[in-house]
Copies of this chain bind each other. A is one copy, B any other.
Amino acid sequence: MTEHTVTAYDEELRALAGRVAEMGGLAETLVNDAVTALLTQDLDRAHRTILADSRLDELQQDVEMRLIRVIARRQPMGQDLREIMAAGRIANDLERVGDLAKNIAKRVIAIDGDFNASKAAFGVEHMAELAMAQLKAVIDSYTGHDAEAARSVRERDDEVDALYTSLFRELLTYMMEDPRKITQCAHLLFCAKNLERIGDHATNIAENVYFMVTGEQLLEERRKIDETGVTDQENA
């Protein structure tokens, strides 16, 4: 294989990873916008978030086409194959994160109420901050090829799940106290669930980054909370 060929191949892999990183940045923005729209009841921002999600779908299709082309042309093995497989799987998780952000944005419109003043806002905000921190950290671990950072993301998923379980119960309590809040709280339950699932996707990505970098699986079973939250590996 000539040096020229190797360089072109490296360039293909770099371009693929670049697209995945671009998806990561966009997914972060979508989640942040959806949550901000929810906390401030900003319907304009919610509408923009819904529209922006289609770009993430386009990028995922682009990643898929690049994957097929590079596998067909280069018959990758070992480390290169791991990079390519990780790119495809991570793109898949990021596209789903975008769908979940879009769903939160749609619920902003469905709620259309004085959420800002509601007692539940604090819990949702806290959970959103943690889920977004997880997403940011795992994208950084991907671009930095940092297996240890990926492992930490996975370990912190328990915190997201614990917050979800606590918020689930809190929202049910509000429903019981004031039946007029039931519709609003039902939408918030789904928003909380979406944030918990975004945390799960961050964990999936972390496992793929770890495997990509080290060639080893993070095997130990994740300890997950499984009570009313029913969170265990739903989207693993």
Which A residues lie at the B interface, using CB under 8 A?
57, 64, 68, 71-73, 75-76, 81, 85, 92, 96, 99-100, 102-103, 106-107, 110, 168, 172, 175-176, 179, 182-183, 186-187, 189-190, 193, 226-228, 230, 232-236
Contacts and interface: CB of A to CB of B under 8 A. Distances in A.
A181 B102 CA distance: 30
Given A99-B236, A230-B107, A182 B193 contact: no
A81 B72 CA distance: 11
A189 B96 CA distance: 21
25 contacts: A57-B236, A64-B85, A68-B81, A68-B85, A71-B72, A92-B92, A99-B233, A99-B234, A99-B235, A102-B234, A103-B230, A103-B234, A106-B226, A106-B230, A110-B230, A168-B186, A172-B182, A172-B186, A175-B175, A176-B179, A183-B228, A186-B186, A187-B230, A189-B189, A190-B193
B186 A179 contact: no
A201 to B, nearest CB: 12
Nearest to A183: B172
Contacts of A81: 68
Taken together, the copies of this chain in the complex come to 2
Contact of A68 (B71, B99, B172, B187): B71
Contacts of A64: 85
Nearest to A168: B186
Q: A-B pairs with the 5 shortest C-beta distances?
A: A72-B75, A106-B230, A71-B71, A176-B179, A103-B234
Nearest to A53: B233
A68 B81 CA distance: 9
A96 to B, nearest CB: 8
A12 to B, nearest CB: 14
